[in-house]
Each structure stands twice: as structure tokens, then as C-alpha cells.
Amino acid sequence: MFHETGSRPDRIDLLARLAGINAQISYRRRSRFHSGKPSIVVDNTLARQFDVDAQEKAWWVTDITYIRTPEGFAYLAVVIDLFSRRVIGRSL
């Protein structure tokens, strides 16, 4: 994925180390009571095949990341086009 643009695969790791940023892998979790209707489950149409040969064959994928800050959690949502591997949109 990163080799097509000329970037090194460990570029983010290198930049994070230079900035002194460390990942916190796990958090202490509180047990919670969940009530109400269950969530809607959508079929996995990509079947984890993220290599797209033609445009419009598979469109976009998304991911949400939780970032702990001194004020609380920040949520980063990113939408990526599978064909061009470009970020379509993001929100923090």
C-alpha cells in the first residue's frame, strides 16, 4: 500500500518516535450494562480483499480510532478510497 506512493512502510513509526509519541495498547475497561435493541449487522461484502484492480469495483472503507488526551478521548474517523488509496475525508 505505501510502496506505490514512494513512502516507506515504517514512516509513521519513525515520525512518532521522533516526536516522542508512544502508543498505549490497552485501557482499563469498565463493565457496562447494555440494553435496548441489538445493532444492525451488515454483511462483509469485501471479505477482506482490499486490493482493487478497477475503479468503482469497491468504493470506500472507514476506520475509527480513539485517542486518549488529557481532556478525554478524541475520536478520529477516516474514509479511504480503496482504488487510489487516498483519504477522502477525515474528522476529529
Average pLDDT over residues 70-76: 90
pTM of the model as a whole: 0.47
Residue in the block written with cell 435496548: 36
* Rounded CA separation 33/31 (Å): 7
Grid cell of 85 as nine digits: 488509496
Q: Which of 66, 52, 57 is nearest to 23 (CA)?
A: 66
Q: Could you report the per-residue pLDDT of 41-59, keeping only the tens digit for each?
A: 878 777 777 777 777 666 7
* Rounded CA separation 90/87 (Å): 7
